[in-house]
Structure 1
Amino acid sequence: MEDMLLYSSLSLLLLLAIAFKFLLQTRTKHKHHPPSPPSLPILGHLHLIKKPLHRTLYHFSQKYGNIFSLRFGSQLVVIVSSPSAVEECFTKNDIILANRPRFLVTKHVAYNHTTMATASYGDHWRNLRRISALEIFSTNRLNMFLGIRKNEVKHLLRKLSRNSCQGFAKVELKSMFSELTFNIIMRMVAGKRYYGEDVKDEEEARQFREIMKEISGSAGPSNPQEFVPLLRWIDRRRWEKRLMKLANRADAFLQGLIDEKRSMEEKGNTMIDHLLSLQKSQPEYYTDQIIKGLIQVCVGHFSLLLLLLLIFVVGNRC
């Protein structure tokens, strides 16, 4: 009983100390931030966030203006809804706003914040951007994979036609588009399909699907521990340890793809083949870790680019 009272008292003191520090920071350090609604200690504005999110943000913009701030726990978020201000953010002030927030998931899964999508602005990020622009996402490289995109769209259309061959039928397109995206990207990256038909290695495909599902479920905004560090202490770092295990599995999977291509002496025409050929002449710029980070970017952060390409393909009646 005495131990319970002691731990309860210590926990209460810790909460009070954190709340006092939060209020002090809000009144001094952050006094020049854009206007924001009243916030709570520790939680910030998390209690005000309701679904659908875009309507909540629209409601705030009507009250606080086109530029306002929210605090998601310990993370400051600035919302910009003015087209002219957004343009200024991506032109005049693009370097100032180029850094990324440091989440636990990007620390462990994204090689300690060193992939192009998670690294802070600097020499390393500029090098990754150069490699991506020239060797992966250039018009010439993407045109080389036009046949893959057309073929996967045809796969989808055939599947849809089979579902509706007896008349009109309801279909769930979200999962179909997700599988389409992953199949296109992984055929471009490694020459393999992991969803639907023509999957050559079912066990490897199962591992890939599980890893992608876990990474998606662990993304920064989906876990409150990313915004309220106190919850990590309460959880005793169990969630972070799961992230570390996930990172090890993802790294081993990607390394397996690289080793497989290396053993075949880069005879294929995939992105990994191309990057490994560059690794021979410039090993300091194309290390295995950089290649794995580039694969992560291809898989997890360029869906919008792929969507635009798909619109182009469908528009050309593939």
Structure 2
Amino acid sequence: MVPGSWPILGHLLLFHGSQPLHITLGAMADKYGPLFTIKLGSTKIAVLSNSEMARECFTKNDKASSSRPKLVAIEHLSYNQAMFGFASYGPYWREVRKIVTLELLSNRRMELLHDVRVSEVQASTKELVNLWSSQKDESSGYVLVDIKQWFAELTFNMVFRMIAGKRFFGAMKTESEEKAERCVKCVKNMLRLLGVFTVGDAIPSLRWLDFGGHEKAMKEVAMELDKILTEWIDEHRQMMDLGEKDANERDFIDVMLSVISDAKIDNVDADTIIKATILNMIIGSSETTTISMTWAMCLLLKNPRTLEKAKEELDKEIGKERCASESDINKLIYLQAIIKETLRLYAPAPLTATHEFSGNCNLGGYNIKKGTQLIANLWKINNDPCLWSNHLEFTPEKFLTTHTDVDVRGHHFELLPFGSGRRVCPGISFGLQMIHFSLASFLHSFEVSIPPDEPIDMSGTPGLVHAKATPLTIMVKPRLSLSCYETRFLFNFDRKC
């Protein structure tokens, strides 16, 4: 147990410091070792911080450590643990995760949604070219763009098209500006609040005081998101009744409606399961994808030689006579290394969502009691100087030489940006597909540069996800012939959504 625990509060003040929590816990690991315990009120939390401890936890002790505690945020924002990512380990979690894996994230489903991803990248690329054409600086030939915002709009369009058939941004959006802002704001607020540790989590008897108003905010966000999801499900039911979609046009909500129907799973009704699962897919893919692409651009702009090597590979494998396609990604080995190195240095979620031990076990020689909670510091694991030379430097080349066989899918415990074991993110392939294709298309299509006298700010936000704290304004201009950007879109945006 780490010293310095306050009476009643325990180490609660650690969770409200100005420094990101993964940095604070990483410094504590340097002092107290790779597995230490802190207290939140009367609750013990084990903090795991190295690869060997992670290997033992997520293999030998995986089942015992795979449950979830019912925190205040989880109660309000996950439909009382109906979201499979926050559900307790058991029959409900297994059944819903199986549906997600087989019906929503299967290779066949990803193939059917290929046109959505391609058309969204094409649409966003053409919109950026049009912006350049109308607003470029005549002397430099560049236009200033907040690329963080551009990535966010592209990702939200892609994710919401695949999940709900909605397009929120751009000239061909299917949702009003008010609806788009309302939905995106709710998702961002939800992610922020999921990273909040309330006094009620540490001291249940004081929960009614709601210090900071966090629980009130959680209830408001949950209510607003429920209204939005209910509207979408009602729309999809009407369209299904009218027979307005064929099998190849079905988005995730359509699939869930056909699979779940009116059935219950472990006494959870169908509509709650559908809303909770769709919301889980949204928060698991939208903001994290944007974050990863934004950090990748920050790192490339701070390392011009790496950026040049990435463009050389794109030109060699794709050329300048056409735009990038998803089939090109397997040939872009250096780009894949860049993404791995970005995820190592800036995992979008530097701490795992909190686990809970469902039984007594032994971890690293320590006896862990049932009910103890667990946080794995993925940032600390991914940046272990004993495993990574020059561990704080951005060097994608390591994944082409000393760490060629290391992947990010939870099998190599020195690199766990998506977690590992039973609770590993089921959407790894889904997310990587979007990141690789979107970033490859952008780097292949545009020349980029930093505005004069504007250094790249690498500060991040606290919370469940570690996003870049400030906008990323860069200079952009096309690098292909303008005819390359005139590709016809593969999707009819005029159909009803």
TM-score, normalised to structure 1, is: 0.76
Verify the 8 A CA contact 2:263 2:270 in the aligned structure 1. Answer: yes
For residue 263 of structure 2, what is the aligned residue in structure 1? 283
Deviating above 6 A after TM superposition, structure 1's stretches of 4 or more consecutive aligned residues are: none
SS of equivalent to 2:209: helix
CA shift at 1:292, angstroms? 0.9
Residue segments in structure 2 that go unaligned for 5+ positions in a row: 290-427, 443-497
Matching residue within 111, 119, 139 for 1:151: 119
Matching residue within 293, 305, 309 for 2:433: 309
Within 1, Cα distance between the matches of 2:12 and 2:264? 43
For residue 250 of structure 1, what is the aligned residue in structure 2? 225
Give the partner amino acid of 1:151: S
Give the partner amino acid of 1:312: H
Verify the 8 A CA contact 2:167 2:173 in the aligned structure 1. Answer: yes
Matching residue within 232, 239, 247 for 1:264: 239
Within 2, Cα distance between the matches of 1:194 and 1:119? 30
Verify the 8 A CA contact 1:50 1:56 in the aligned structure 2. Answer: no
Q: How does 1:1-318 map to 2 (within 5 A)?
A: 35-48=1-14, 49=17, 51-161=19-129, 162=131, 165-166=136-137, 167-168=141-142, 171-202=145-176, 203-221=178-196, 223=198, 225-229=200-204, 232-235=207-210, 239-265=214-240, 267=245, 268-280=249-261, 283-284=263-264, 287-302=270-285, 303=288, 305=428, 306-314=430-438
Give the partner amino acid of 1:288: D
SS of equivalent to 1:218: helix
CA shift at 1:313, angstroms? 1.9
Give the partner amino acid of 1:313: F
Within 2, Cα distance between the matches of 1:57 and 1:160? 41
Within 1, Cα distance between the matches of 2:93 and 2:194? 21
Verify the 8 A CA contact 2:124 2:154 in the aligned structure 1. Answer: yes
More relative contact order, 1 or 2 (CA 8 Å, 6+ apart):
2
CA shift at 1:121, angstroms? 0.4
Within 1, Cα distance between the matches of 2:29 and 2:216? 38
| Root mean square deviation, CA, Å | 3.0
SS of equivalent to 1:193: coil
Q: Which has the higher helix share?
A: 1
Verify the 8 A CA contact 1:251 1:292 in the aligned structure 2. Answer: yes
Structure 1 residues 86, 229: CA separation in 2 closer, same or farther (over 3 Å shift)? same
Name the % identity.
34
Number of equivalenced pairs = 283
Give the partner amino acid of 2:222: A
CA shift at 1:165, angstroms? 4.0
Range with bigger deviation, 157-166 or 271-280: 157-166
Verify the 8 A CA contact 2:79 2:276 in the aligned structure 1. Answer: yes
